[in-house]
C-alpha cells in the first residue's frame, strides 16, 4: 500500500507540478494510511467476534474510509494553504473536487487493504470450514456404519445362542453372560479408535461364543505379532471379517474348520489377516456377507483414504481377508 501511495504521489506531481497539492496529499496519506489499517483490522476483529459476516463490515469500512479521507484531505489542503507560502501553480481544486478525490482515495486504499489482507483470510476461513464440514460428514458416516454393524452383530450372535436354548440351556445361559460382556464393550460410549490389543481381547470373547455354539466344528488360532498390540485401528474393524470367515468359510468345510487371526508390522504399516480353511470362492464371484466387507472398506476409506485397504485372496484351501493401514500407536 505504501508503494502504491508513493507511486501515486510521484505520478500526480510529475503531471501537475503542484507542490501544494503534493504536500497536502502526502500529509493526508502519512496520517490516514496507518489509521485506515488499524481501524480496518479493528473493524474486522470486532465483526468476527460478533459473527456479523463479511459484506456488512466491508461496506461500512469502504464508506468510512471514503468519508475519513475526504475530510482529512480537505483539512490538510486547507492547512497547507493557510500555514505555508506554497501555492498551487494551477487553480486549486474546488471544495467538492477535494471531497470527491479524498473519498475515492479512501475507497481505493481500503480496497487495496481488503485485497491484501481480507481475501486471504476469507480463503483460509473457507478452507477451514470445508475441512471441518468434511470431518463432520466423515464422523457422521462412521457413526452410521457402526450403528448398522452393531445390531447386525447382535442379531447374528443371538441367533447363534438361540440354537442352544433347547439343546443345552446351561450353556445358553453362560453364553448370554458372555454376550452381555461383549455388548458392554461394543455399544457403550467410546472413541472411534482403539488399540489392537483391546480389539483382539474383544474378538477372543466373541470367538469363545462361536466355538461353544459350534462345538467341535470351529477352532480359533491367534498369531499376534510383536509391536502390534499398541497399534490403533478403527473400533470393531475386524469383527465383520471374522464373522464372514466363520459363516462363509470354516463352517462350510466338512467336519469343521479353523480361523486364524494374524497381525504383524510391515515397516510403517499394520497388516491384519483373518484366514479360514473353507472351500474358498472363485475369483470372479462375490463372497457373501457383502455388508460387512463394504463397511470395512468404507471405514478404511474414510479414515485413511488411499492409505488403508482390504483385499481378499481365495483358493480351494481357504480365503484370506487382509487389512493394511498406517501404523498409529496408542498409549502403552
Question: Does residue 202 share a domain with residue 78?
Answer: no
We report the CATH number of the domain holding residue 295 as: 3.30.565.10
pTM of the model: 0.58
pLDDT band (50, 70, 90) for residue 261:
very high
Edge-first strand listing for the sheet containing 218-224: 218-224, 257-266, 269-276, 318-326, 309-315
pLDDT at position 269: 96
pLDDT band (50, 70, 90) for residue 49:
low
Whether 89 shows a pLDDT value over 80: the answer reads no
The domain of 311 spans 190-326
Among 130, 154, 170, which residue terminates a domain? 130
Question: Does residue 316 share a domain with residue 194?
Answer: yes
pLDDT at position 15: 47
| Integer Cα distance of 104 and 113 in angstroms | 14
Q: Please report whether residue 149 resides in a domain.
A: no
For the stretch 290-320, pLDDT in tens is: 667 888 898 898 889 899 999 999 888 899 9
Query: Which residues in the chain belong to E strands, given as ranges?
Result: 193-195, 218-224, 232-234, 257-266, 269-276, 309-315, 318-326
Among 130, 162, 182, which residue terminates a domain? 130
Asked if residue 222 lies in contact with residue 204, where contact means CB atoms within 8 angstroms, the answer is: yes
Q: Please report whether residue 147 resides in a domain.
A: no
Q: Please report whether residue 316 resides in a domain.
A: yes
Question: Does residue 198 share a domain with residue 322?
Answer: yes
Question: Does residue 321 share a domain with residue 201?
Answer: yes
Q: Please report whether residue 227 resides in a domain.
A: yes
Q: Please report whether residue 175 resides in a domain.
A: no
Question: Does residue 302 share a domain with residue 199?
Answer: yes
Residue 43's closest CA among 60, 66, 68, 55?
60
Question: Does residue 126 share a domain with residue 208?
Answer: no
Residue 56's closest CA among 46, 69, 70?
46
Number of structural domains in the chain: 2
For the stretch 197-248, pLDDT in tens is: 999 998 998 898 888 877 788 999 999 999 899 999 988 899 889 988 998 8
Asked if residue 297 lies in contact with residue 312, where contact means CB atoms within 8 angstroms, the answer is: no
Q: Please report whether residue 228 resides in a domain.
A: yes
The angle, 0 to 180 degrees and rounded to 10, between the axes of the packed helices 55-83 and 19-49 is 150
Q: Please report whether residue 142 resides in a domain.
A: no
Q: Please report whether residue 46 resides in a domain.
A: yes
| Integer Cα distance of 243 and 289 in angstroms | 9
Question: Does residue 113 share a domain with residue 21?
Answer: yes
Average pLDDT (104-133) is: 76
Q: How many C-beta neighbours within 10 Å does residue 183 have?
A: 14
Among 114, 130, 146, which residue terminates a domain? 130
Question: Does residue 202 share a domain with residue 299?
Answer: yes
Amino acid at each position: 500500500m505504501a508503494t502504491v501511495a508513493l507511486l501515486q504521489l510521484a505520478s500526480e506531481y510529475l503531471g501537475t507540478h503542484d507542490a501544494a497539492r503534493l504536500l497536502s496529499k502526502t500529509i493526508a496519506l502519512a496520517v490516514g494510511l496507518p489509521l485506515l489499517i488499524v481501524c480496518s483490522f479493528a473493524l474486522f476483529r470486532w465483526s468476527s467476534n460478533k459473527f456479523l459476516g463479511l459484506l456488512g463490515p466491508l461496506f461500512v469500512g469502504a464508506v468510512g474510509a471514503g468519508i475519513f479521507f475526504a475530510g482529512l484531505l480537505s483539512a490538510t489542503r486547507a492547512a497547507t494553504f493557510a500555514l505555508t507560502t506554497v501555492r498551487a501553480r494551477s487553480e486549486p481544486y474546488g471544495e467538492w473536487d477535494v471531497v470527491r478525490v479524498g473519498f475515492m482515495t479512501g475507497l481505493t486504499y481500503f480496497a487495496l487493504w481488503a485485497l491484501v489482507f481480507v481475501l486471504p483470510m476469507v480463503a483460509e476461513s473457507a478452507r477451514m470450514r470445508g475441512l471441518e464440514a468434511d470431518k463432520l460428514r466423515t464422523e457422521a458416516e462412521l457413526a452410521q456404519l457402526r450403528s448398522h454393524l452393531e445390531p447386525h452383530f447382535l442379531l447374528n450372535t443371538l441367533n447363534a445362542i438361540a440354537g442352544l436354548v433347547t439343546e443345552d440351556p446351561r450353556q445358553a445361559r453362560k453364553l448370554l453372560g458372555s454376550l452381555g460382556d461383549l455388548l458392554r464393550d461394543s455399544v457403550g460410549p467410546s472413541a472411534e479408535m482403539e488399540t489392537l490389543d483391546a480389539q483382539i481381547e474383544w474378538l477372543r470373547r466373541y470367538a469363545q461364543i462361536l466355538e461353544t455354539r459350534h462345538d467341535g466344528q470351529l477352532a480359533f488360532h491367534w498369531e499376534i505379532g510383536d509391536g502390534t498390540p499398541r497399534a490403533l485401528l478403527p473400533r470393531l474393524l475386524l469383527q465383520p471379517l471374522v464373522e464372514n470367515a466363520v459363516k462363509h468359510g470354516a463352517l462350510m468345510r466338512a467336519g469343521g474348520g479353523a480361523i486364524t487371526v494374524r497381525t504383524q508390522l510391515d515397516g510403517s504399516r499394520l497388516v491384519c489377516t483373518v484366514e479360514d480353511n473353507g472351500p474358498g470362492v472363485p475369483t470372479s464371484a462375490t463372497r457373501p456377507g457383502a455388508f460387512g466387507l463394504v463397511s470395512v472398506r468404507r471405514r478404511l476409506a474414510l479414515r485413511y483414504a488411499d492409505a488403508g485397504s482390504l483385499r481378499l485372496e481365495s483358493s480351494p484351501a481357504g480365503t484370506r481377508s487382509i487389512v493394511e493401514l498406517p501404523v498409529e500407536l496408542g498409549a502403552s
